[in-house]
Amino acid sequence: MKNIYASIITIGDELLIGQVIDTNSAWMAQQLNRVGITVTKRIAVGDDADEIWNALDIENKSADIVLITGGLGPTSDDITKQLLCKYFSGKMIVDTGALENVKFLFEKIYHKPISDVIFKQAEVPDVCEVLQNKRGSAPGMIFQKDGTIFVSMPGVPYEMQGIMDDLIPYFENRFQLPTIIHKTILTAGIGESSLAEIIKNFEAQLPKEIRLAYLPAYGMVRLRLTTSGFDKTKTEKLINDQFSELKKLVINYMVTDEDETMQQVLGKLLLKNKKTISTAESCTGGAIASLITSVAGASAYFEGSIVSYSFGIKEMLLDVKKETLEKYGAVSDQTVKEMLSGLLNKMKTDYGIAVSGIMGPDGGTPEKPVGTVWIAVGNKKKQSVQKFKQRFERQKNIEITAMMALNMMRKFVLEL
């Protein structure tokens, strides 16, 4: 028994110039890891035949599986299929299944005639095993060379994911795969270096089969333990014992011992307590509401948001007093308190979050520099208000503020 290693190659000039963000690699890596396949390398190459050929040669020497996405479209810049045909010494043929799929899509779904360009989507190298694309016109293809399996798939995420649904069982049947286990703790209110100091002795005595990773982001740090093995029971016990010890050390900062987001944690709390929430946002411009509603089922506890960017909207929709704004300004504890009160009165929710601040790059003063933020959370009986000072560029200041607001709300709910 041995570990199975995979490489991912994404193709497209748009990836290299930053016009399109590569989300395919992350998604594929998650699916492979889930079934016990270890991803050791992710490579992005442009629409250049020599670069693609070179990447295939390199990965053929080290990987058991090479997943390739992109370059399978019908236009002139899509060169992957022709290159793969040459690389694996094949010739192009029309695949019956792929042709039927193209005909169905264009004649029955799109109600368009099949042009010569589209017809070529049904052509594949005769040395591949075809993976039919149930979500598009370009089929996936499986090749083999020197013991390595190569899989080419469309770069469109929705289409690639559909093919991967069939590909994962293919790998599970072909290989004897180990169990890979990740155990994650989400912490907040403590930095990476401080966490490292707390758990340095624990880290030093970790069994060699277990790896510890620090994953900092937006005022939080994830601690992840990872191990793998072919004896599932033994592997689970090994990591669970260590995970229990780690939780004891960081219990004062732990948000959750599951691999979940802050918004998911808060959503579970609200569902458990059968409570609702709304937000009043100025400087975050709806970012908090966006995080909350990114969780499926958020409609069970989220009622809505008032994005009160201007003085006038704060007065008109949140009943913030004009005198308060003139005397203390929009970025003040007095204003966010009134924003919260007005929000709860208008939305009729159990809890509310109100935020006002200066995200930059301009707008700061000596008294209120860029990065100054006031956050208020609470209900009609009690409020918790805090001032924060962010120190990054505008977008990161917004993202960190949104996450801090969710964490404040989480702690408020737990303390009641």
Q: What ranges do the domains of the chain cover?
A: 4-174, 179-256, 262-415
Give the separation between CA 273 and CA 230, rounded to whole angstroms. 41
pLDDT at 117: 73
Residue 227 has pLDDT above 80, yes or no: yes
Average pLDDT over residues 317-335: 98
Looking at domain 179-256, its CATH class is: alpha beta
The overall longest dimension of the chain from CA atoms, in Å, is 79
Architecture of domain 4-174: 3-Layer(aba) Sandwich (3.40)
Give, to the nearest 10 degrees, the angle between helix 311-318 and helix 333-347: 40
pLDDT, tens digit (0-9, with 9 covering 90-100), for 272-285: 999 999 999 999 99
274's tokens: 């059968």
**Which amino acid is it at 350?**
D
> DSSP letter at 209?
T
45's tokens: 């190459």
Give the separation between CA 177 and CA 267, rounded to whole angstroms. 35
pLDDT at 281: 98
pLDDT, tens digit (0-9, with 9 covering 90-100), for 239-280: 999 999 999 999 999 999 999 999 999 999 999 999 999 999
**Under 8 Å between Cβ of 49 and 71:** no
Tokens 């691999």, residue?
Answer: 259
Give the separation between CA 415 and CA 269, rounded to whole angstroms. 12
Distance of CA 284 to the CA centre of its chain: 20
pLDDT at 373: 98
Same fold, 4-174 and 179-256: no
pLDDT at 274: 98
CATH of region 262-415: 3.90.950.20
pLDDT at 102: 85
280's tokens: 């009043």
**Under 8 Å between Cβ of 320 and 309:** no
